Amino acid sequence: MYAAIEAGGTKFVCAYGTSPQDIHISEAIPTTSPKETIARVAAFFSGRKLKRAGIACFGPLQIAKGRIAPLTPKLEWRGFKIQAAIEKVLGCPAILDTDVNGAALGEHLWGAAQNSKHFAYVTVGTGIGGAAMINGHLVHGLLHPEVGHMRVRRFAGDAFEGNCPVHGDCLEGLAAGPAMAARWNVEQSEQLPDSHFAWAMEAHYLGQMAVNLTCAYSPEILILGGGISLRPGMISMVQQSAKQEMNDYAPLPKIVRARLGARAGVIGALALARRLTR
C-alpha cells in the first residue's frame, strides 16, 4: 500500500491505496504550522503498513534537498525539510515533487497522457503551474519548471498592469483567475459570463503559452487543468489562438482537458509514490 500526500498551501489531503480506483482519502487537514500539520498527517496513516509515500507539494521546492524553498511566502514553512519529516512519521521512503509535477505524472499513469511520453501539463486557476515530461521523465533541472511565470506579449489594448507580486505582467500576472477578476472588476473570474470578451483574451494568453511550450519542448499533447480549463469552449479557443500565433511554423500538440479533475493533487501524490523514478 502507498501513501499519497497532497501538501497544499491551504490544506493537506492524504490517502492510502494502490490506484485511483482503490484509494482512501482523508478529510482536508488545514495547513497551519509544520509541526501541527505533520502530526495530523501522521495520525491519519497511523497503523498502516506503507511501502512508499509520494508528496505533491506547493512550491517553490528544493527537491534535491527534500525541502520547501526558503523563498516561499509561507513563513513557517520556509526551508522546512518535508521529505525527511514525512519519512520519519510514516516509517517509509518518500518521494517529493511539486504538485503540478505530481498531477502531470498522474495524467501519464491514469489520465489524458497514458499513451504519451512527451507531453506538457498546465493548470490554470488561482495560479498557473506547469510541467513537462520528456522521454518519460519529468523535467526538473535547476529547480523545476515555472511555466506560470513565462513572459507573454500583451494583448493589444489590455491596460491591466498584471498582479504577479514578482513580475507584474508575466503569464500568471495576466491570465490566472485573480488577474482576470482584477482586470474585469469582479470578485471571481467564474462570475464572468461565457459571452464576455475576457475569455477570448484569456485564450489569447494561453495560446501564447501553448506556442512557447511547443517551441521549447515539442510536446505531443498539452493537457490543461484547473478551473479555467473547464469554461465551455476554452480548450478549442486556446487551440485556435495557438494556431494563429504559430502561423503554421511547427506542428502544435493536441490540447486536451485534464482527466484527474479535483483529485489531481492527491492522485498526483499517489503517482509519485507508485513510480520509483520521477
Q: Which residues bind Zn ion (CB under 5 A)?
A: 149, 164, 166-167, 170
Question: 55 vs 175, which CB is nearer to Zn ion?
Answer: 175
Residue 257: what are its φ and ψ, rounded to 5°? -85, 145
Query: Please, what is the minimum distance in Å from the beta carbon of residue 178 to Zn ion?
Result: 12
Gyration radius of the chain's alpha carbons: 19
Query: Please, what is the minimum distance in Å from the beta carbon of residue 148 to Zn ion?
Result: 7
Query: Please, what is the minimum distance in Å from the beta carbon of residue 109 to Zn ion?
Result: 30
Q: Can you tell me the distance from the alpha carbon of 195 to that of 28, in angstroms, rounded to the nearest whole number?
A: 35
Query: Please, what is the minimum distance in Å from the beta carbon of residue 179 to Zn ion?
Result: 10
Question: 156 vs 166, which CB is nearer to Zn ion?
Answer: 166
Q: Can you tell me the distance from the alpha carbon of 137 to that of 117, in angstroms, rounded to the nearest whole number?
A: 8
DSSP string, 54-92: EEEE-S-EEGGGTEE-TT-S-GGGTT--HHHHHHHHH-S
- Positive or negative, the CA dihedral 266, 139, 121, 147 is positive
Question: 78 vs 149, which CB is nearer to Zn ion?
Answer: 149
Helix, coil or strand: residue 240? helix
Query: Please, what is the minimum distance in Å from the beta carbon of residue 69 to Zn ion?
Result: 15
Question: 141 vs 193, which CB is nearer to Zn ion?
Answer: 141
Question: 149 vs 254, which CB is nearer to Zn ion?
Answer: 149
